[in-house]
Structure 1
C-alpha cells in the first residue's frame, strides 16, 4: 500500500484538456531487438499529438534544468556542459547531473544528452542503481489524419514554427539489483505515461491551451 500511495502522490492532477493518444506501438521502439529480447531491460513507448510546434516542444525537453519542476521523481538537475557535437554539425552534446528520488533511495548521476534541435533529444545514463537508463524524445509533424480536437491542418504543419506535432517517447531501463527490480516493477511500468502526462502539464503552464 505504501508503494501505491507514493505513486498517487507523484502523479500530476488530471489535465484540463487531454491531447490525442495514439495506439501503443512498442514494437517500433528503437530499443527493441529483432528477437524482442531486451536482456532484462524494460522498454516503454508512448506517442501523442500535441497542438504545439516542434520548436516549442523541443525547447522544453532541452531545458534540462527545469526537470525538477515537472518530471516525476526528479528532485534536482544541473547542466554541467553544453557544446557542439564534435563530428555532427547541428547537434549538441550536453552533460546533465540529475538527482532522482524514489521510494527510500536517492541517487545522483550524469546523463549524456545528444540534442538535435527541434527534432530529438537522446539521453543515456548508467548508474549504480540503473544498469541501463536511456530516454529518447522525438518531435515530428503530426499526420493529417490525427489532428488535435478543434485544430485545423494546413500546409504550414510541416514547419517547426507550427503544430500540431507528434511526440514519441522511448524509455528503456534495467535495474542493477534484482531487489530494486522486483520492488519497483509495478510503479516503473507507469513511468513513461507519467512523464508524458507531466510534459503535457508543463506545455499548458508555459504555452497555454491551443484553442485554434
Structure 2
C-alpha cells in the first residue's frame, strides 16, 4: 500500500478529483510533488514536500498553494505479508477566510474519500 500512496504520478488514473499530478523531485527519502485538484467549484494547484520512510510512513508538508498551512501523515503498519493497517491524517487551512468558508467542506470531502479510493485501487492492482 505504501507504493500505491507514494505513486503520485498515477493519481489522475483513479482519484476522480485529481486533474493532474507531477513528481518534481524524488529520492529514496523525499519527494516533491504537485497536484491539481478540480472537484465541484474547487480548482486549486498545490505542491508538497513528502518525507518517506519506506513501507512505514509518508509525511506531507505544504510548499506552495492556496493553503495557509497543510500537513498530512500516512502511516502503514504491517499486519501480515498480504495486509497492513493504514492511518491517514490531514490538517489544512486556506489562506483567506472566504476560501476557508467556500472550499473547506469540499476539500474535507476529498480527504475523506482518499482511503476508499486507495483500497479500490489496491483491489484493481493486487486483486
Q: What TM-score does the superposition give when structure 1 sets the normalisation length? A: 0.54
| C-alpha distance after superposition, 1:124-164 (max 9, x if no partner) | 1144421122221111034xxxxxxxxxxxxxx2xxxx032
1:188 has 2:125 as partner: no
Q: Which residue of 2 aligns with 1:163?
A: 82
Match for residue 77 of structure 2 among 129, 140, 144: 140
Secondary structure class of the residue paired with 1:113: strand
Alpha carbons 1:72, 1:195 under 8 Å: kept: no
Q: Does 1:175 align with 2:94?
A: yes
- Secondary structure, counterpart of 2:49 in structure 1: strand
2:18 is aligned with 1:65: no
Aligned residues: 127
* Alpha-carbon spacing, 1:197–1:171, altered in 2? closer, same or farther (3 Å): same
User: Matched residues in 2 for 1:123 and 1:72: separation?
Assistant: 21
Aligned to 1:114: 51
After TM superposition, the score normalised by the length of structure 2 is 0.87
**Does structure 2 conserve the Cα–Cα contact (< 8 Å) formed by 1:72 and 1:194?**
no
- CA distance in structure 2 between the partners assigned to 1:207 and 1:181 by the alignment: 38
Structure with the higher fraction of residues in helix conformation: 2
Tell me which protein shows more strand as a share of its residues: 2
Structure 1: segments with no counterpart, 5+ residues: 1-56, 85-91, 143-156
Cα 1:127–1:104, aligned 2, differ >3 Å: closer, same or farther?
A: farther
Q: Cα deviation per residue 1:45-102 (whole Å; 9 max; x = unaligned)?
A: xxxxxxxxxxxx0110111101112235221111111124xxxxxxx11111221224
Given candidates 10, 21, 24, the residue that maps to 1:77 is 21
Q: Which has the higher contact order (CA 8 A, sep 6+)?
A: 1
Which SS does the other structure have where 1:118 is aligned? Answer: coil
| TM-superposition CA deviations, 1:92-121 (whole Å, max 9, x none) | 111112212243343323211111111111
Distance 1:81 1:199 in 2: 23
Give me the CA root mean square deviation.
1.9
